[in-house]
Amino acid sequence: MAWDVLGHEWAESLLREHIQRGQVRQAYLFVGASGVGRRTLATRFVQALYCPQAKTTGDPCRVCPVCLQVEKAQHPDLFPVAAEQEGGELRIDAIRELQHSLSLSPYMADRKVGLLLRFEEANQNAQNALLKTLEDTPGRAMLLLTAASAEAVLPTIASRCEVLRLRPMAVSDATRYLVDQFHLPQEEADLLAHVTGGRLGAALRLHAEPERLEQRTEWLGDLFTLLGNSLRERFAYAENAVRSRGKGDRGQARENLRGILQTWLSLWRDVLLYSAGASAPLTNPDVADEIRQIAAVVTLDEARRQAAVLEKSLLRLRSANLQLLLENLLLDLPRI
């Protein structure tokens, strides 16, 4: 059975070759946007290393108990490590626990594997602690890291890893795969491919959780309304978005705001594309009329500035006062 990592066949071929030649590295870094297939590729790699029923070296069967344990991240020699929630913070305690686990002999396989997910969320202390592990990795251990980009981790960490840069598919290819391979209706497949920018894993998650797609539509509607709202109405929205939707859970409120800002950023990027006459596909084709209306009254420089402000706000989200951050954004939002 193939690895089934659509769009990343080159990476599959490279990793299989490492296994077949006995040249597996002690550390790999899979980088790319969330939903592009980083974890899937890492999982297939571990299955290829562990599978006892592989008919060909480097090709896991994916149906034996070992492969299924790896798929569910329940294999006794596989140690997944990540922040408690996406957008959270990975701390040094988790790295120290991983270091201890890797120092012990493997239980079933010939090596232990530390799988560090979304490692860009690791704080400075955690990254420094992992660097020490990379410098002196136990002989029967291997580290697999996933991150948004190689630049999102310490240069000294990236330099000690085999870096595989995973890119999204073309939107048209993603649409075709969603229709042909996963039997989605054409209209839904086309929208999901655009919204996720060709990230097949993200598209399938949205298909499985339609409420997230509905939430996106609501957030886009919020932005269109806010463009015409008074300052008082905008500040009331900021308070509601942070307090009511977070329901007293600051972590949930932070994730809610992250979703809002990412959705708005995708809209302003579409305005930029339309204003500049670019041929790249829109991320939000279902609101193309609204994008054209905004582009007709907002300058290209203003659209670019709004996108830049949102990008900076997303970087500050982990430590910022959430309501103040959103109020400052809305204070600077153009009135249309």
pLDDT at 128: 95
- Same domain flag for 265 and 327: yes
Residue 56 CA to residue 248 CA, distance in Å, equals 53
Could you identify the residue written with the tokens 């310490």? Answer: 154
Which pLDDT belongs to residue 255?
86
What is the pairing mode between strands 162-165 and 27-31? parallel
pLDDT tier at 253, thresholds 50, 70, 90:
confident
Whether residue 306 sits in one domain with residue 248: yes
Same domain, 294 and 263: yes
Lowest-confidence pick of 9-18, 123-132, 172-181, 245-254 = 245-254
Do 124 and 265 belong to one domain? Answer: no
Tell me which of 133, 165, 197 is where a domain ends: 165
Digit-coded pLDDT (tens) for 13-38: 999 999 999 999 999 999 999 999 99
The three-state secondary structure class of 315 is: helix
- pLDDT tens for 97-138 read 999 999 999 999 999 999 999 999 999 999 999 998 898 877
- The domain tally of the chain equals 3
Across all residues in the chain, what is the average pLDDT? 93
Residue 185 is part of which domain span? 168-208
Comparing CA positions, the residue from 323, 104, 295, 103 lying closest to residue 234 is: 323
Average pLDDT, integer, range 148-156: 94
Grouping H, G, I as helix, E, B as strand and the rest as coil, residue 137 is coil
**What CATH number is attached to the domain comprising 52?**
3.40.50.300
* pLDDT tens track for 42-81: 999 999 999 999 989 999 999 999 999 999 999 999 999 9
* Cβ(46)–Cβ(78) below 8 Å: yes
- Does residue 247 register a pLDDT over 60? no
The span from the CA of 10 to the CA of 14, in Å, is 6
> Do 284 and 267 form a contact (C-beta atoms < 8 A)?
yes
Is 322 inside any structural domain?
yes
CB of 211 closer than 8 Å to CB of 48: no
245: confidence class by pLDDT, cuts 50, 70, 90:
low
Identify whether residues 56 and 154 lie together within a single domain: yes
- Predicted TM-score of the model (pTM): 0.86
